[in-house]
Amino acid sequence: NKSYFIFDNNVIALGSNINSDDPQYPVETTLFQHSVSSLKPIEVNGTPISNLGYAVYLSGEITLQDPAHNYYFISATNEQPLNISYKTQTSNDEDDGKVTTGNFASAVIEHGIQAKNRGYEYAITIDGTEAIKPKYQVLQQDINLHAVEKDGIEAYAFFAPTQVTSNTHVVSAETPMQIIAKPNQQGNELALSIVNPDFAFYKGQDPDQIDENGDQVEVSIYSRPWRYDLSQPVTSIFTVKGHWQLAAPSDKVQTSIDGENTKVTTTTTDAEVLQFGLIAK
């Protein structure tokens, strides 16, 4: 599972549940791969690098700057090191297969061969002017949920129904969805932005996308009869700590008290984003 949380010009990237059964090729997460035909430098922990042939594996706290002036802040381990290179790469042209070469700078997290339950965390400052790591907190990072907090804003990427293990405004979700929650200073108002990315062109599994072993296989969307269908309404349900009511009526949002908490039910089509407010009862 991978997620990206964007706050102004900061990006927080999380990965979890990275697994592979391939005994030959390692699993990698690419942070960047930039063409450096003019040998534009990168920075590795404050040191400019522009010499072809540079290659290093690093662990610990690492700060990078790519050729586009984006800063990366990574916590790497010996088991999952960061592979940084500045070198000439060779590949085959996708049209005629001819050998091509080019100079590239790249940074890759190495998860290893036959990776089991690997993950990562890094932050980016886009077009940064200083190598200062953004301040944020990872609230949860597992197979069901990625959640972070920055500047009082909580952001959640639910991959499956689950409980939130941190002391946050959102307690749980019953459906895969994404939520942003921002309380006011008094704590009696909560601004919410939610989206369910399911267009619901069809329900259940498309049998042509599952092989005899139950594994998903890649099938062109252009061969699917449902590609002409319209998006169908999707219901999403999540629970907020405390007793709340809608700040303004909405035919797409309903609230109900559930013990000490409030259950929020939304209905969307076309994966639209809903923005609404709650006020404390």
71-83 per-position pLDDT tens digit: 999 999 999 999 9
Q: Where a domain ends, among 97, 125, 153?
A: 125
Within a domain: 154 = yes
**Which residues make Cβ contacts (< 8 Å) with residue 38, sequence separation at least 6?**
none
- Residues 12-28 as b/e (b if ≥16 CB within 10 A, e otherwise) read bbbbbebeeeeeeeebe
Residue 54 pLDDT level (bands cut at 50, 70, 90): very high
- How many structural domains comprise the chain? 2
**What CA–CA distance (Å, rounded) separates 239 from 164?**
10
Within a domain: 132 = no
The CA distances from residue 278 to 55, 64, 79, 192, 215, in Å, are 52, 41, 44, 8, 42
Do 74 and 142 share a domain, yes or no?
A: no
Can you read off the two tokens belonging to residue 47?
């040191």
Can you read off the two tokens belonging to residue 41?
């430098």
Within a domain: 67 = yes
Within a domain: 130 = no
Beta strands 71-76 and 60-65, pairing class: antiparallel
Q: Where a domain ends, among 125, 152, 183?
A: 125
Residue 238 pLDDT level (bands cut at 50, 70, 90): very high
Q: From edge to edge, which strands make up the β-sheet containing 47-49? A: 2-7, 10-18, 118-125, 71-76, 60-65, 42-44, 47-49
Do 240 and 274 share a domain, yes or no?
A: yes
Do 91 and 147 share a domain, yes or no?
A: no
Q: Where a domain ends, among 77, 92, 125?
A: 125
Q: Are 33 and 73 in contact (CB under 8 A)?
A: no
Do 14 and 76 share a domain, yes or no?
A: yes
The domain spanning residue 198 has which CATH number? 2.60.220.10
The domain spanning residue 92 has which CATH number? 2.70.98.10
Do 106 and 10 share a domain, yes or no?
A: yes
**What CA–CA distance (Å, rounded) separates 60 from 203?**
45
Helix, strand, coil share (%) of the chain residues, nearest 5? 5, 55, 40
Do 208 and 272 share a domain, yes or no?
A: yes
Do 115 and 163 share a domain, yes or no?
A: no
| Digit-coded pLDDT (tens) for 177-208 | 999 999 999 999 999 999 999 999 988 878 88
Do 173 and 63 share a domain, yes or no?
A: no
Q: Give the end-to-end CA distance of the chain in Å, rounded to a whole number.
A: 36
Tell me, what DSSP letter sits at residue 52? Answer: T
Instruction: Please say if the pLDDT value at position 217 is more than 90.
Output: no
Residue 123 pLDDT level (bands cut at 50, 70, 90): very high
Within a domain: 113 = yes
Listing DSSP states for 81-121 in one string gives -EEEEEEEEEEE-TTT--EEEEEEEEEEEEEEET--SEEEE
**What is the average pLDDT across 235-245?**
98
Domain hosting 225: range is 137-280
Do 7 and 60 share a domain, yes or no?
A: yes
Reported pTM: 0.92
Listing DSSP states for 146-163 in one string gives EEEEETTEEEEEESSSEE
Within a domain: 131 = no
Amino acid in position 166: S
